[in-house]
Structure 1
Amino acid sequence: NVPRIKGSHNAVRSGILAADAAFDALRAGRSGDELVEYQAAYEASDIARELKLVRNVKPLLSKYGAFFGTLLGGIDMQITSLFRGWSPFGTLGHGKTDAASTEPASKHKPITYPKPDGKLSFDKLSSVFVSNTNHDEDQPAHLKLLDPSVPIQVNLPKYGEPARLYCPAGVYEVLYDEDGKSNPRFQINAQNCVHCKTCDIKDPSQNIVWTTPQGGGGPNYPNM
């Protein structure tokens, strides 16, 4: 949710609910069925309650901007807290997906970022190293392309291939020959993936599919 750092505590809570639902299904001999108990457990949990209370904050920010959006979001949260989830706004939507919000590169000026100084800013691969990310080298790549031609033939000329920019781990690269211009190739460094799933959500062509890696590989934050 917007007011809190939801990633950690909601991930732990939902993981516990999923494990409990899977255990109950296996114990009942329903290993091939959908875990219907998980959805019911989620809807009765603190996760659903917290997310319902703040469901309109981000849509209000997107629609009315930082100042008025924050003000209306705060009011809405107070009202929904007092009236057990009821909001005068109902449930607002975002209008369009993150993928559909991506605009052609021709509408924007390229941003030249300063080189990381190693003190306040760091390069992507150094941050990947800190995340302790690891995947077995002999497993199939868990990042799949529905159409391998799309990154170079569609995304690169129209959008500048945004996957190479929005990925925080340097998973996606566009490589060229020595002249830096000819024979562009799309490379996926799946070993670096920190499982943020940005590519699965943001890719304008919806061509990238994130799947669960074999063997439980991925980031490992032992000091959190």
Structure 2
Amino acid sequence: MRLARFLGYRLLLAIPVVLGIVVLNFFLIHLAPGDAASVLAGESGAASPEYMEQLRHKFGLDQPLATQFGVYLLNMLHLDLGYSFRNDSPVGSLIVDRLWPTGLLMLTAFAAALVIGTLLGLVAATGRNAWRDAIISLVSLVAYATPGFWLGLMMIVVFAIRLGWLPTSGYDTVGADNEGWDEVWDVGRHLVMPAVALALFYLAVYARVMRASVLEQVGMDYVTTARAKGQTERG
């Protein structure tokens, strides 16, 4: 019962937060200069007043702001995220189509950062003030301070354009129609650079946290007692 009350309380707290985000998102868009009709008309190259009025009527931009807000809230309640004029497809379908590639990228980056970062932090802590500790700490500091978007661009320039080892973008090779392990290999090659660029920052964080945690435990009484009884580091 205590867990149920806690979860219910958290869900109740989430309602005003989500509502605030929805309201803020709506009014921030309308505070920006211009409107969606101007952007769409500019992209199509036909910015005549008649065409812009047609676009405003089509997307309901000619209605009062309160009416637009009410329609927006109603669509959110029905999980209707609207229609993408650029992609000529519902926004919900676009998001669903990209869930698997996004999830694969996130899980790969998280797993790589967690495993490698933990190992590097452990190696650094067990060799405190040694050369390996200095190198790992320096690499972690550089990785922590390197912007991910800059690293991604540099990796594209070096490994995709200069060396030609990896593809520049995409989920898999368009038109290749690979199957089985060939498809796995193709997707893996496309996954390397974005996963590395995304994981490097968190890898540095996990390495530093793991190093600090191990060094904190090394000075505890139970470790001193184990050493006094003859227990080795590897034992």
- Give me the TM-score of the superposition, normalised by structure 2: 0.26
- Higher-strand-fraction structure: 1
- Give me the TM-score of the superposition, normalised by structure 1: 0.27
Q: Which has the higher contact order (CA 8 A, sep 6+)?
A: 2
Higher gyration radius (CA): 2
